[in-house]
Amino acid sequence: MKVFFKKGTFIALLVAVIAVGIFLRGYNFSDWIHFELDQARDVLVISEAVDNGIGNLPLLGPRAAGTFLRLGPAFYYLEYISAKIFGNTPFGVAFIILLFSILTLPLFYLVCRRYFNKWNSLGLLSIFSVSIFLIMYSRFAWNPNLIPFFVLLIFYSLLRVVDKEEKKRDLWMYIFAVSLAIATQLHFLVLLTIPVVSVVFLLVKRPRFSWKVWASSFLIVIFFYSPVIINEIKTGGDNAKEFAEAVSGKSQNEKYSVIEKAIRNYEENAIGSFLILSGVEKAEVVKVKTALKVSNAFEFKCDKDCRKNLPWSITAFIVFSLGIVLLVVRLIKEKDVSRKNFLLFSFLWLIVSFIVFLPVAYDISPRFFLITAPLPFIFLGLIFNFITKLTNKGKWIIIAIITALIVSNSLAIMTRFSQLKKAPLENVKINPDRILKERARVTLEQQQLIVSYISKIVEKNNYPVFLDSESQHDRALKYIIRKEGMAASSVKTSKVYRNGNYFLVFRTSSNLEEEIAKYSIAYKVIEKKEFGTLIVFRLLPEEESITDVDWYFSEDDDNDRSAPGVPERYNWNEIFSKPR
């Protein structure tokens, strides 16, 4: 009975931890969705396929940031399924992200159990569930947001593939192939990192399969990449050329030495890991210059903010470094084959990702850490094991660390959720955002309130809407306006129409006078209305500026499918349609 009670208690705690993680990811999900530039771009693609047929889905996915390279379309296809099931709305499209982020919770626990005992695994899952970094990337639609699930599935499936005691190794090999094919279509750096880790791991472990299993796994990957292959055939390999250019371009930053990049890379990874674990956004990098003088090869600069937050930076450095040391030590000493496999994959994951991040060390975005997000927890688990062996009171120290990290993340979540709640009502001031890099809190609910205000004006005169906003919100607002059945275009058209409703939408904290001045020659402000962190100006054309009476909406307006310089992206209808 006592054994059953202990087992029942553990299961209850495990369910409770997962339930908390689900709650935090789903709380006010639909109202607080982050719906901006990339999200509006993607939902337009999905809406076209939902409204006009699946054949309108493209053969390539979103562009990799800063390049003309397009990823594979797997993310779009998952969004399409989500929209068909849950509705062709920003919420319906984004629901697939929420679903996979929830599935990541039990998957993470299963991964941890391949090495750690159940109580340490539960402790790590507790922190994972409340990590504000992981929570915020679970609450909106963006291709990098699915990375943690699929990378963990790759990790877990490979551990099962090389496990000689595993009875369904063939099945896990197929699962690995599927997860690898999808993961590599989610982000450019995943494409460079995870296949290398996986291939090296398989070469080291050399699992034995029949040629049919190897061939089938290869064909699975080819199947998932078939849209990309077809598009490449149609364009003569344009996207492959962009891939080659992107790879070489990422490596051509000659401003910093290799040593400087390595130091900065290490610092960024340490700070990123600490942010994922604790939710603390205060740690700062120490700027390092090399080869300045013969007698002084290194120069370290720590500005005011750096000095102020130095304790956090030092803590981040110590935790990250200790985790790496323990990983290497345990990898060398571990005798159990299954546990050693876990450590080997983690080590390869660390090394390859560090090398891939090296060329972009001075331009690492927070989303890059989604690729390695589980590693800080693995490092922390190794630290827990070390503490247990170090002292008899290790259990209480571990509980204290877990509690501190849960509290730290919880406080950060409360602050963030409070800001999101207030965003439509007041101009919420925020500190520099190290998670999403937002300059202001803006929610879908807030954008819908603005569109509702515009809609009431349109109802009175039935004129089309002309709207300009900052790039983050412009496309999103026009999408919502059009979903409400109103015609919409940009204020900055070649003509000024008499019969039109003109609006400007800016961040309330931006330089409003400067923004308005750009329109002052042709328009005058007749109304101003604040929506918390966003402000709307209603304009009226100056009589002498009017060049035409009416404007008529065209389906081609604001259609940037084939922006200048971007390689052609076909859809399925174009592939199977008969030549004219």
Could you read off the pLDDT tens digit of each residue along the chain, which spans 580 residues? 355 557 789 999 999 999 999 999 999 999 999 999 999 999 999 999 999 999 999 999 998 877 889 999 999 999 999 999 999 999 999 999 999 999 999 999 999 999 999 999 999 999 999 999 999 999 999 999 999 999 999 999 999 999 989 999 999 999 999 999 999 999 999 999 999 999 999 999 999 999 999 999 999 999 999 999 999 999 999 988 888 887 776 544 567 888 889 999 999 999 999 999 999 998 888 777 775 544 456 677 777 777 888 889 999 999 999 999 999 999 999 999 999 999 999 999 999 999 999 999 999 999 999 999 999 999 999 999 999 999 888 899 999 999 999 999 999 999 999 999 999 999 999 998 999 999 999 999 999 999 999 999 999 999 999 999 998 999 999 999 999 999 999 998 778 999 999 999 999 999 999 999 999 999 999 999 999 999 999 999 999 999 999 887 664 454 444 455 677 899 999 988 755 4
Residue 1 is assigned to a structural domain of this protein: no
Residue 419 is assigned to a structural domain of this protein: no
Query: What pLDDT score was predicted for residue 508?
Result: 95
Helix (H), strand (E) counts: the chain: 22, 7
Residue 561 is assigned to a structural domain of this protein: no
Same domain flag for 387 and 453: no
Domain assignment of residue 138, given as a range:
17-392
Residue 575 is assigned to a structural domain of this protein: no
Query: What pLDDT score was predicted for residue 286?
Result: 79
Written as six digits, the tokens of 29 are 């999900």
Same domain flag for 449 and 381: no
268 vs 361: CA distance, rounded Å: 8
Written as six digits, the tokens of 541 are 């054309």
**Please, which residues have CB within 8 angstroms of residue 385's CB and are 6 or more apart in sequence?**
116, 120, 326, 330
Written as six digits, the tokens of 241 are 């050329």
Same domain flag for 369 and 475: no
How many domains does one find in the chain? 2
Residue 75 is assigned to a structural domain of this protein: yes
Same domain flag for 237 and 382: yes
Q: Is the dihedral of CA 309, 275, 317, 267 positive or negative?
A: negative
Same domain flag for 104 and 187: yes
Same domain flag for 309 and 448: no
* Domain end residue (candidates: 392, 410, 432): 392
Same domain flag for 363 and 506: no
Same domain flag for 230 and 321: yes
Whether 32 and 442 have beta carbons less than 8 Å apart is answered as no
Same domain flag for 381 and 498: no
Residue 10 is assigned to a structural domain of this protein: no
Q: Which residue in 340, 326, 352 sits closest to 151, CA to CA?
A: 352
Same domain flag for 72 and 139: yes
DSSP 358: G
Query: What pLDDT score was predicted for residue 246?
Result: 79
Same domain flag for 297 and 374: yes
Residue 4 is assigned to a structural domain of this protein: no
Place of tokens 């306006």: 481
Q: What are the contacts of 290-299 at 24+ separation with CB within 8 A?
A: 290/257, 290/259, 290/260, 291/257
Residue 232 is assigned to a structural domain of this protein: yes
* Domain end residue (candidates: 392, 409, 425): 392
Place of tokens 């849209």: 227
105 vs 556: CA distance, rounded Å: 43
Max Cα–Cα distance, the chain, nearest Å: 88
DSSP 273-340: HHHHHH------PPEEEESS-SS--EEEE--HHHHHTHHHHHHHHHHHHHHHHHHHHHHHH---HHHH
Same domain flag for 154 and 41: yes
